[in-house]
Amino acid sequence: MALTARSLSLSLGRRLVLDAISLSVRPGRITVLLGPNGAGKTSLLRCLAGLLRPESGAIMLDDAPIGTLPLRERARRIGYLPQSAELVWSLNARDVIALGRHPWRSPFAAPSEADRAAIADAMTATDTERFADRPANELSGGERARVLLARVLAGSPEWLLADEPLASLDPAHQIDILDRFRAAADRGCGVVIVLHDLNHAARIADDIALLHGGRLVAHGPAADTLTPAAIAEIFDLSVEILPAARGYPMQIVTCGRRNSAE
């Protein structure tokens, strides 16, 4: 089983945002997409989720092009957590989480026992029962992020794609949410996350995909990809790599812009 991008190219307007990207992610592993703003991370994630159609190349889910899958089957297999944490209407947290079961339900049927069990388990996994009956837009940023993650987990997806799930969260909640992704991967989910924090990426990732200017620059374990040279080239940053400590396989200390540090 694999979710694979084959020679993926995509333009938005006249700008080439993805340039012949080939990448394969596997179940039970966390792949982090890293790169500066405009590198093509979100576009790649949306392509992997089947939400953007590439100009050339293909996204394969196992051996089938993702575009050939019925929408419901794709929704059952791939859970997508978009960047925005705002809800248009302030539904109760429980109702938001229950929407994750939509691909498994008949449109007008009451939730089945399996639906209720999946919702309950997702709430337990994200510790959201306490505020399940509160309007989601009245929750704190950390609570709402957990509710939206629970919404995706309630769908029992094989693949979990998340776009900057730590944005606007305080450090404690960032660690908390990352641990939930690790737990999902440990249960067999293939996880792809877009992140900006290099240390979080090093902590959580089994593999890191470095993107720059729409191209895949490097793909592999953190120790091989997050080198000072690669970080300087891609992020224009001067960094120092310190040894592993307290759950972090490496510590990346930012020393400033590459040129100013020189």
27: contact with another protein by CB under 8 A: yes
In the complex, what is the shortest distance from the CB of residue 34 to another protein, in angstroms, rounded to a whole number? 21
199: contact with another protein by CB under 8 A: no
- Which of 78, 166, 192, 209 lies at the binding interface for another protein (CB under 8 A)? 78
- Which of 67, 141, 171, 188 lies at the binding interface for another protein (CB under 8 A)? 188
Residue ranges with strand state E in the chain: 3-12, 15-25, 30-34, 56-61, 64-65, 78-81, 159-163, 190-194, 207-212, 215-220, 237-242, 251-257
Question: How many residues touch another protein (CB under 8 A)?
Answer: 61
User: From the CA atom positions of the chain, what is the Rg in Å?
Assistant: 19
Among 193, 187, 197, residue whose Cα is nearest residue 207: 193
167: contact with another protein by CB under 8 A: no
| Angle of CA points 145, 66, 208, to nearest 5° | 55
Task: Name the token pair of 73.
Answer: 């089957």
Residue closer to another protein (CB basis): 86 or 262: 86
128: contact with another protein by CB under 8 A: no
DSSP tag of 245: B
Rounded-to-integer distance, Cα 8 and Cα 131, Å: 41
Tell me which residues touch another protein (CB under 8 A). 27-28, 46, 49-51, 71-72, 74-76, 78-82, 84, 86-92, 94-96, 99-100, 102-103, 107-108, 113-114, 116-123, 125, 132-133, 135, 148, 151, 153-158, 160, 184, 187-190
